[in-house]
Copies of this chain bind each other. A is one copy, B any other.
Amino acid sequence: VLTGRVADRNGPWLAEELRRHGVDIAEVITVGDRPADLRDALRFLIGVGVDLIATSGGLGPTADDLTAEVVASVQGRAMVLDEAWHAHIGEVIDRMGRNRGWSAPDDAIAAGVAKQATVPVGADVLAPTGTAPGFVVPPLDHTGSIGAGPPVIVLPGPPRELQAMWPAAIAVPAIASILSGAGELRQSTLRLANTLEAELAATLRERADLLDALEITTCLRDAEVEIVTRYGAGQQAAYDRFAAMIGETYGPRLFSPDGRTVDDLVAEALLTGELTIASCESCTGGNVAGRLTDRPGSSAYVLGGLVTYSNEAKTTLAGVPSALIQEHGAVSPQVALAMAQGVREVFGADVGISTTGVAGPGGGTPEKPVGLVHLCAVGPQGMLERRVHLPGTRADVRERTVSIAMHLLRELLS
C-alpha cells in the first residue's frame, strides 16, 4: 500500500464502519515493513489521545509481517505460541498445500505456521477468517494490569478476511464499551452537477451563518461536486436549513439531495420504468458496460454492450454506415448518435448509450485533439448528446467519460 502498488481498501472500509458507530476518524497512517515506522505511528496515535486504534495487514507467514509483535511490544505485552491456534492453522495450511504441488520442505512451512500462531499474551484472539488470527490488545501497565491508553484492534490485510473478522472484533467487551460510549454521528451528502467548486465556495462564504454547527467537506470528483456534512443528532434542524439553502440556490443542478449516486439514480430509473439498456463504446472500451454491471441485480436491465474499437466493428456490429464515418470521422456527433441508435436495435434495448473519442496519448489532430469525446444517449422519449473536451491522461479521459455517460443517462431518464 505504501508504494501504491496496492490500493488501500481497508482504511476506507474501517472508516465507514466506525462512522456508523459514531466514531470519527482522526488519521489513517500507512507504513511499510520497518518495525520502527509502525512503532512510531502507534506511539503517535496513542500520544494524540485517540480512543481506539485499528491496524490491518502484516499478519502473514513471512518475516516482513511484524504487526502482532510490534503492537504487543507497544502495548507492553510479550508474545507466546498458542497451541490451539497452532493446530488449527496447521490444518488449514495442510489442506491448502494438498491441493497444490508444494516445493517447500515441511519445516520451513511449519515455521510460517508457528509465526501466525504466536499471539500477544493476554490479548483477545479473534478466530482466523483466512490463516491468520486477529487480536484485540489493550495496554498493560508496569504492574501487569490494564493500563491507560487505547486498545488496538489487529486485523489481517486481505479485505475479505478483515471484513469477515470485524463483527468478532467489535463484540470484544473492551471495544464494545468504547463504541457504546460514542454518540450518534450523522452524515448526509448532497451532489451537484455542472457546478464549479469555486462557485460552491462562494455560496458557502455568503451563507456562513448557516454553517457554524456543521462539519462540511466539499469534494470535486469527476463530473460532480459532492458536499458531505457530519453532525450530531441535535444539529438535524441546522443541517436541514443548510440543505434547503443549497436546493434553492442550485435548483435542478442539485441532482441528489439525499446522497444517492448517479449510478443509484440511473439504476432506479431503469427499474422503475421497466427499461432495458445496451452500450456501444469506443474510447471507453467496455468501461461503461462495466460500470452499469457493477451493481448487483443489473442483469434485470442491462442486456449487454458492444465495444466497437475498430471502425469496421462500428459498421458491421452497430450498423453505423461507413459513409457516415468517412464523412464526419469516427469521433463525431453523427457517429455517436448512430452508435447509440444501432446498439439499441441490435440488443432490442429501450435505451442506448454511446461514447466515441480520442483518449490519447496518440491519435489527436488539430480538429480532433486528445480529450475530445462525443457521447449520445437514446431512449423511448428522445435523445441527449454531449461534446466534451477533457484534460488529463488517457486514464483520466476514459474515467471521466464513463462518469459523464452516467450523468447523460440520468438526465435522459429523469
Interface residues of A (CB under 8 A from B): 2-8, 11-13, 15-16, 19, 25-34, 37, 40-41, 44, 48, 60-64, 93, 96-97, 100, 102-105, 108-109, 111-113, 131, 158-160, 194, 196-206, 208, 215-221, 226, 228, 249-250, 279, 281, 284-290, 292-294, 296-299, 302-310, 312-313, 317, 346-347, 360-363, 391-396, 398
| Contact A112 B205, beta carbon cutoff 8 Å | yes
Given known A19-B3, A361-B296, contact A62–B286 (CB-CB < 8 A): no
| Contact B5 A226, beta carbon cutoff 8 Å | yes
Measured between beta carbons, the chain B residues less than 8 angstroms from A44 are 40, 44
| Contact B286 A293, beta carbon cutoff 8 Å | yes
| Contact B317 A313, beta carbon cutoff 8 Å | no
Q: Output the least CB separation between A201 and chain B (Å).
A: 4
Additional 16 contacts, C-beta under 8 A, given A26-B31, A103-B250, A104-B199: A2-B28, A6-B219, A25-B32, A28-B30, A60-B197, A62-B201, A97-B198, A108-B201, A108-B203, A160-B391, A279-B307, A285-B290, A296-B394, A304-B307, A304-B308, A317-B317
Measured between beta carbons, the chain B residues less than 8 angstroms from A105 are 202, 206
Measured between beta carbons, the chain B residues less than 8 angstroms from A62 are 197, 200-201, 204, 218
Residue of B nearest to A12 (CB): B4
Given known A15-B3, A205-B108, A286-B287, contact A216–B64 (CB-CB < 8 A): yes
| Contact B26 A27, beta carbon cutoff 8 Å | no
Question: Of B198, B199, B312, which is within 8 A of A103 by CB?
Answer: B199
Q: Output the least CB separation between A221 and chain B (Å).
A: 6
